[in-house]
Amino acid sequence: MGCWNGTCAVSNLHITAGTPVTVFLLLEQRGSKSFCYSNALNDLCPVPFYGEYNDYGAVENCHGFGLNMVVDAMRDQLYEFGEGPNSSHDMSVNKGNFNIEMLFEADHEDRLGIQETYRWDGEEYDRRELEKMRLEEGLTPAQAFELDRLANKIKKVDTFRRVTHVIVHGAVFHDIMHKWYIEDYVGDSKGDKGYQNNYRHIYFQDILNDLPAYIQSLKSNKEELDNTADPKLRMAIMRLSRSNNFDNPNLAAKWMGNIDRSESMKYGIVHAEEVIEEYKGKDDWAGLASFMTEVLTTLWMNAFMGHTRKLWSKQSGSGSQNSDHLAYRVLTQSMNDIMDVEQAELDEINAEDEEFDEIEADASAG
């Protein structure tokens, strides 16, 4: 089997052998596929790891805080396969010898997944409701047709839930983490950017800078809880610790509040909230800080995907050694031209608004 270039999940650029990459695992989306969000097709593992592309669709020299955590989580939930009739491709996948090499090999052979213990099945719910209606009040011809369709479709329940991996080119990943920022509206001229200083720019490093203070608040909260015997007071402290951090001035707390709290983005394979509680239970605050750094990295990457209207999905190009530049340059130049026109229009509107504000201010002063 020949070698081929990988494909960056963010830029779609080709990735050649030896290129540093960031690896994210994707979990097949079984819920409603709302294309409002980047997880329409796949949920995202909240912990990445790192390595170098190996020229054959996998990653070597893997490392990073999250590597063993991801492999262990996959092993614990692994959907096992026996060896099929084609021993070259129908490989055995089992917990006993599962490791990072098997993860990539099983993914390549479409045999990587988790054993799903529970999931909400909307089609099964609809079938039961139609059956109930049929017995109680009868069905319209259209409803009877839908019941037959669902009954034929829902015959066997397979608990296999597909897992795959995607890679992000190391240079692309670096620039997103260090150069990209989010323009955050604060209002009342409390910011230092944008129209009338109503905005501020948030970089990923700003979030990391707030992480030590957030860790300290969690530590203090746990110490207070450990020293409180009153059940009602303990419940009040626990409720406070679980409160929504959307308006928290601490950026790390605010961003961590996105984990498993919203339908707009679900995270799987590694259950972040459970891991956080384990670190807190052991008073391993350094470990918790390292874990949260990786989770925040994923949250930041996911935000970038949302801002650029991208889906978490396996990219095309497997088997191809194409490394053409011209098509990418035409695409990026076209995108830049479009954005230059839009920016010029926006600058003109802002200039008119500022001129109007100055006229009003002069009139009030007069």
In three state form, how does the secondary structure of the chain look? CCCCCEEECCCCCEECCCCEEEEEEEEECCCCCCCCCCCCCEEECCCCEEEEECCCCCEEEEECCCHHHHHHHHHHHECCECCCCCCCCCCCECHHHCCHHHHHHHHHCCCCEEECCCCCCHHHHHHHHHHHHHHHCCCCHHHHHHHHHHHHHCCCCCCEEEEEEEEEEHHHHHHHHHCCEEEEECCCCCCCECHHHCEEEEEHHHHHHHHHHHHHHHHHHHHHHHCCCCHHHHHHHHHHHCCCCCCCCCHHHHHHCCCCCECCECECCCCHHHHHHHHHHCCCHHHHHHHHHHHHHHHHHHHHHHHCCCCCCCCCCCCCCCCCCHHHHHHHHHHHHHHHHHHHHHHHHHHHHHHHHHHHHHHHHC
| pLDDT at residue 264, as a whole number | 44
Each residue's pLDDT, cut to its tens digit, for the chain (366 residues) gives 579 999 999 999 999 999 999 999 999 987 666 788 898 999 999 999 999 999 999 999 999 999 999 999 999 999 999 887 776 778 899 999 999 999 999 999 999 999 876 555 677 788 888 889 989 999 898 888 888 878 777 665 668 899 999 999 999 999 999 999 999 887 777 777 776 777 889 999 999 999 999 999 999 988 888 887 777 666 666 666 655 566 788 999 999 988 855 444 457 899 998 999 999 999 999 999 999 999 999 999 999 999 999 999 999 988 888 899 999 999 999 999 999 999 999 888 878 777 766 777 666 766
| pLDDT at residue 147, as a whole number | 85
